[in-house]
Amino acid sequence: MTVAPKIVILDYGSGNVNSAAHALERAGASVYLSDDPAQVAAADGLVVPGVGAFAAVMEALLAKRAGAMIERRLAGGRAVLGICVGLQVMFESGDENGVVTTGLGQWPGTVTSLPASRLPHMGWSRVHAASGSRLLEGLDGERFYFVHSYGCLTDPAADLGESKLFRAPLTSWAHYGADFVAAVENGPLTATQFHPEKSGEAGSKLFTNWLATL
C-alpha cells in the first residue's frame, strides 16, 4: 500500500493556498495548512506560496519566522517548493518601484520589474526546461499560467557555479519582454514563477514530478 506524502503548505496569510492544496491532493499528497515549526519540519515537503508584493510577502514570512523554518529544512535536505512570489523571495532582494527589500537569500539575484510594455504578465506562456530537469520532465515547451509584474532576469547558476559538493542550480526560462527565470531546481529547494495549481494538466504533471522526488 502506497503512503501519500505529507505536504505542509506554509500558513502565513498568502491567498492562493486552497487551489494549491486541491491540486496537490489530486496529485496524490496529503496536504495540511500550518505554521507550526514542528509540523513544518516533519513534513515530507513544504510549499511556500506567494501572491502580491515582494515586500509584503517578506514581512509576513518574517513575522512567522519562516526563514528559520525554511533554512532548517534545507539544511537537512528536506524538500521546499516555492510558488510565484514564493520563488521571488528565495533571491537576495526585490526591487519594487525603487524600494529594495531583502529576500531570503537562497540564490543570488534581484527581482525587478519585467521590461514589458504591458504589465502584469497574465496568462499562459511557454516554459523552456533546463536540461536534466526532474520538475519539468516531459513538460519542456509546455505552457503554464503566470500572473506577475516582477521576475528575476539573471541566472542564479551563473553566480553560484558548481563545486565538488554541490551541483549548480537548474534554471528553466520563459519570455515576456525579456527572458526571465520560470523555475529553479537547487537540491531540496525548488520554485516556480508560474502557478502549477492553475496550469491544468501540465501543472498536475509538475506536481506529480515533484512529489516523486520526495
Q: For this structure, is 128 an active site residue?
A: no
* Gap between the terminal Cα atoms of the chain: 17
Q: Binning pLDDT at 50, 70 and 90, where does residue 161 land?
A: low
3-state secondary structure of 209: helix
Alpha-carbon distances, residue 152 vs 15, 44, 104, 173, 181 (angstroms): 22, 28, 14, 10, 6
Q: For this structure, is 197 an active site residue?
A: yes
Q: What is the pLDDT at residue 44?
A: 98
CA distance 30 to 211: 11
Give me the catalytic one of 142, 152, 185, 195: 195
pTM here is 0.95
Give me the catalytic one of 84, 142, 148, 152: 84
- In tens, the pLDDT along 56-79 reads 999 999 999 999 999 999 999 999
Q: For this structure, is 175 an active site residue?
A: no
Average of pLDDT values for 101-118? 97
Least confident of 58-67, 147-156, 160-169: 160-169
